[in-house]
Amino acid sequence: MSRCLQALMLTLCVLIAPTVLAAEKQEKELPPSPGTGTSPPPDLGKDRNGNPVDLSRLKGKVVIVTFWASWCGPCRKELPVLGHFQKVVGRDALEVIAVNHKEDRRDFINVVRANRNIDLTWVPDSQGKLNDAWGVRSIPRMFIIDREGHIALRHIGYSEESLPGIIDEILSLLPEEVKSRPGGGQQPNSAKSSR
């Protein structure tokens, strides 16, 4: 190898190494994901309409917090299922919060508009602050929070085969009066959310 080529390679290594080390250091500094039985960070920023999303105000409901992105095929399959499940159970007992995974606001809005028939609480996170606070490194990532506000279950990934088990897990957290409602849990006069 010529001395010029060796010098060029050495220069590239010197320039690239700090960037790689900084990225590795940043990855290692992320907090761990909230564990089962713990209370997650309550502040989920603001929904797409600018309303604050505070988990402490949702105690008494089962809450699903799912992290997703427009480029994630399994995420795009999971969101309509969660929206339908929330509709069937009733928003008074189940709240689904869909937190975007570090995407440009324009991409986030395009997905929300394309899925306007899915009634979820849509939360943008273009800077990744929520993703980082929750220790989310891969998506889809789902946290199921019990009625007392503690993480009951966590799921990484999504498949149609896993769906029945996830539904059973969520149903096990709902009160009996919700599970035994006529019409699958949907309140006849429940107000439709604007989120």
Helix (H) or strand (E) holding 183: none
Q: Which residues of 77-96 are buried (b: 16+ CB within 10 A; e: fewer)?
A: ebbebbbebbbebbbebbbb
pLDDT-based confidence at residue 87 (cuts at 50, 70, 90): very high
Q: pLDDT at residue 38 above 90?
A: yes
CA 99 – CA 55 distance, rounded (Å): 13
- Provide the pLDDT confidence category of residue 7 given band limits of 50, 70 and 90: very low
**What's the predicted TM-score (pTM) here?**
0.78
The whole-angstrom separation of Cα 80 and Cα 120 is: 9
Tokens of 68: 């997703």
Please give the DSSP secondary-structure letter assigned to residue 68. Answer: E
Residue-wise pLDDT tens digits, 112-155: 999 999 999 999 999 999 999 999 989 999 999 999 999 999 99
What would the two tokens of residue 8 be? Answer: 């060029």
Distance, CA of 55 to CA of 141 (rounded, Å)? 17
